[in-house]
Amino acid sequence: MPSDAITSPNSGSSHSTASLQEKKLSTDCCNPLRSHLILLRGSCLALFASLAVLCMAGDGHAADSPNIIVVLVDDMGFSDIGCYGSEIETPHLDRLASEGLRFTQFYNAGRCCPTRASLITGLHPHQVGIGHMTEPPDQSLGFKGPYQGYLNQRCTTIAEVLRSAGYHTLMTGKWHLGIQRKECWPLQRGFDRYYGGLSGAFNYFKPGGDRGMSLGNDRVETDDDFYATDTFTDVACDFISDACKTDDRPFFLYLAYNSPHWPLNAKWEDFQKYKGKYLGGWDVLMKNRLAKQIELGLFPSQTAPAPHEGPVWDSLSPKKREDLDSIMAAYAGCIDSIDQNIGKLCDHLRSLDQFDNTLILFLSDNGACQEGGILGQGSEQMVKNPPLETVAGVRLGQAWANACNTPFRLYKHFVHEGGACTPMIASWPAGMQKANRGGFVRQAAYLPDIMATCIQLAAADYPPQMPPCQGESLLATLTGSEAVIHDDPIYWEHEGNAAMRWGKWKLVREYRKPWELYDIQRDRTELQDLSVPHKQQRERMVKMWETWATANQVAFPERFNMYEFLRKKRDAAKSKPKNK
């Protein structure tokens, strides 16, 4: 059985939102939507989509259903917001948590696009073609592999399901489910309206090239006032306003921030707020965060943190410690900005009298990101004068990422707790009246449960010709039930890193390393490997994982890495002797 049930634990200002149309009147290009013609085209598409939905959903059963907002942030660690132990100021998220529920064992897929694929489809990422990553821009090498790297047609999306049930379907932010094929873009996969970046990473201030912005199916320019976190929220608020003016149907919004993914383009004022606060180093940060987590009731007092993997802080030069402080301050500034925008979004919902009957789910796509080397990269000067139209810039690095996932092991790419366990906040004032609001949900849950929850909330029909949704609805949990969410095991795999949760047991491995076994109920930080004393349990679970992997198109025992495949093929082509 899972470790335990729901237990109890022990504002700030927001920016006003002007409509895109009003912004366009004030200047020639003072919002991301450069052209009146493009804006008109987007509005017409939304109108036609709305008319089509009204025809399809003639029974009107969505009218009494709540609005649903899924907010997904990018590369944020488990302990990076205040209500999960952080020193970073996140009053708006903390308020959502104090009036809602915090999940302590909610799992993602360990990396950006596999998480997005699983969340949006309710399936495992391997089933929908994104078992590794999305396709690289250059397909000239004739790549053919088990994961094509874009969202296939053997799945449906939350947007498609909810639109058929009568919902407005809206999205802003990072897509990352296939950029080369238009049939994989948001409007072709169920969204009425979309604004954001189709690629996996882009500059917060000035995105450019293939990493630029799109409105619907059209590329659009950005102006000097563009800042991704702010703009995605502003456009989302405008989309919501337009939907509410159209009719009384509920809306589904998928707000996918690229923050705090590299490059860590913090605003200068947000950076300055945290500059100098991290000169004590990662050991001090981890100690303080764990103490706060214990005080909040997230973990018991005897919790032992996973050891830190970086160098001893005092062994580093003063200049290096100064730069590392700047890197972490930039990261904190990016998260602070997310919280400011959550406040803006909630205030906008309240102004429309939509907040109480809106389910908001807030989560991260994976743990903090170690990409960028042990010590990351960047300095105060790089924050102040960031490279534009590129993804070069500040990166967090492994040592800080390890600390940001306190008290867990590892980080992004991996499916140990530090890589695959996300903070998740659920807020729904009108629907959670019987829940233990302000408390914790300690049962294991994972990404496909979001699709199942949306289906139940909307009384929607899931297409019978598609592979069945792999999740369980969280509705009972959100409304006060203490029942187990998953009686059956849940599974993961990414780049050969694999895991399985079955009640209190967790089977997990790093690629090509032996399987490990943990009693998560007693050892949440995965420090006491029980694979030898519980050998039979380990072997039984390994067989179950292999059966699951075979049934769900997982490439194993050798992992399949598309980028490694293409790199080897490119190197082989270069090494061939040229014909004279």
Give dist(CA 181, CA 151) in Å, integer. Answer: 9
- Strands 213-215 and 218-220, how do they pair? antiparallel
Amino acid at 554: V
Name the active-site residue from 92, 126, 168, 176: 176
**The 3-state secondary structure of 433-486, one letter per residue:** CCCCCCEEECCCEECHHHHHHHHHHHCCCCCCCCCCCCCCCCHHHHCCCCCCCC
Residue 403 tokens read as 């600390």
Cα pseudo-dihedral 260, 264, 266, 272, rounded to 10 = 110
Q: Answer yes or no: are the C-beta atoms of 476 and 483 closer than 8 Å.
A: yes
Residue 216 tokens read as 């619907």
Q: Answer yes or no: are the C-beta atoms of 463 and 515 closer than 8 Å.
A: no
Give dist(CA 537, CA 354) in Å, integer. Answer: 49
Residue 402 tokens read as 């390890």
Q: Answer yes or no: are the C-beta atoms of 170 and 240 closer than 8 Å.
A: yes
| Lookup result for tokens 């490059």 | 263
Name, in order, each residue with C-beta under 8 angstroms of 193's C-beta and a sequence gap of 6 or more.
Answer: 42, 45, 46, 49, 169, 170, 171, 216, 239, 242
Q: Based on the residue annotation, tell me whether 112 is a catalytic residue of this protein.
A: yes
CA 214, chain centre distance (Å): 20
Give dist(CA 382, CA 345) in Å, integer. Answer: 30
User: Where are the alpha helices (H) located in 63-126, listed in sequence order?
Assistant: 91-99, 112-121
For residue 293, the number of C-alpha atoms closer than 13 Å in the C-beta half-sphere is 29
Give dist(CA 314, CA 57) in Å, integer. Answer: 64
| Lookup result for tokens 């639109």 | 163
Residue 378 burial class via C-beta count within 10 angstroms: exposed 0-12, middle 13-18, buried 19 and up: buried
Residue 404 tokens read as 């940001």
Residue 559 tokens read as 């992992």
Instruction: Give the SS3 label for residue 144.
Output: coil
Name, in order, each residue with C-beta under 8 angstroms of 221's C-beta and a sequence gap of 6 or more.
Answer: 29, 32, 34, 212, 213
For residue 307, give the DSSP letter: P
Name the active-site residue from 112, 184, 244, 404: 112
CA angle at residue 466 from 463 to 470, to 5 degrees? 100
Q: Answer yes or no: are the C-beta atoms of 83 and 90 closer than 8 Å.
A: yes
Q: Answer yes or no: are the C-beta atoms of 453 and 473 closer than 8 Å.
A: yes
Distances (CA, A) of 300 to 71, 316, 442: 29, 33, 12
Give dist(CA 124, CA 470) in Å, integer. Answer: 7
Amino acid at 243: A
Give the closest residue to 457 by CA, choosing from 167, 160, 236, 237: 167
Other beta carbons within 10 angstroms of residue 461's beta carbon come to 10
Active site residues: 112, 176
